[in-house]
């Protein structure tokens, strides 16, 4: 979590110490809310932190557009078949704070065209 000084604050909430996943999550949420109010009085906690540029190690070079290879297992009558599906995915944050995704097949469009389509779609969705 960012602080007013520009550093990042974090704390570990162990499941075993708090008696389970839900209790640890509840304690972490309380800590986060208190730390936010202490660092930024009067400001509401944002739904998501928003990046403004693609990371250096991005394979597509476009913010919010990434490549994904899904491995689909299909068990037929006599044998098990494994399919690899290569996609380029556009992702964005919807107004309600949830994440939206749209994927484009590399097999159908080619890698470069799939990246262009995903970037254009994402741009339309965030405007």
Judged against a pLDDT cut of 70, whether residue 31 lies above it is answered with yes
Indicate the pLDDT class of residue 20, thresholds 50, 70 and 90: very high
**Which pLDDT score, from 0 to 100, does residue 108 have?**
96
Judged against a pLDDT cut of 90, whether residue 22 lies above it is answered with yes
What would the pLDDT profile of 97-116 be if each residue is shown by its tens digit?
A: 788 999 999 999 999 999 99
What would the pLDDT profile of 78-92 be if each residue is shown by its tens digit?
A: 777 788 899 999 998
Of 68, 65, 125, nearest to 98 by C-alpha is 125
Of 14, 13, 41, nearest to 33 by C-alpha is 41
Of 54, 53, 42, 38, nearest to 2 by C-alpha is 38
**What does the pLDDT average to over 15-39?**
91
For the chain, domain boundaries: 1-45, 65-126
Indicate the pLDDT class of residue 47, thresholds 50, 70 and 90: low
Judged against a pLDDT cut of 80, whether residue 55 lies above it is answered with no
């Amino acid at each position: 979590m960012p602080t007013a000084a520009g550093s990042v604050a974090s704390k570990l909430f162990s499941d075993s110490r708090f008696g389970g996943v839900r209790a640890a999550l509840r304690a972490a949420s309380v800590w986060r809310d208190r730390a936010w109010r202490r660092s930024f009085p009067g400001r509401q906690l944002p739904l998501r932190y928003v990046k403004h540029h693609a990371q250096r190690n991005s394979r597509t070079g476009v913010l919010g557009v990434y490549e994904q290879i899904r491995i689909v297992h299909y068990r037929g009558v006599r044998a098990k078949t494994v399919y690899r599906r290569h996609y380029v995915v556009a992702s964005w944050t919807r107004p309600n704070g949830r994440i939206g995704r749209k994927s484009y097949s590399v097999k159908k469009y080619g890698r470069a065209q799939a990246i262009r389509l995903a970037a254009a779609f994402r741009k339309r969705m965030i405007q």
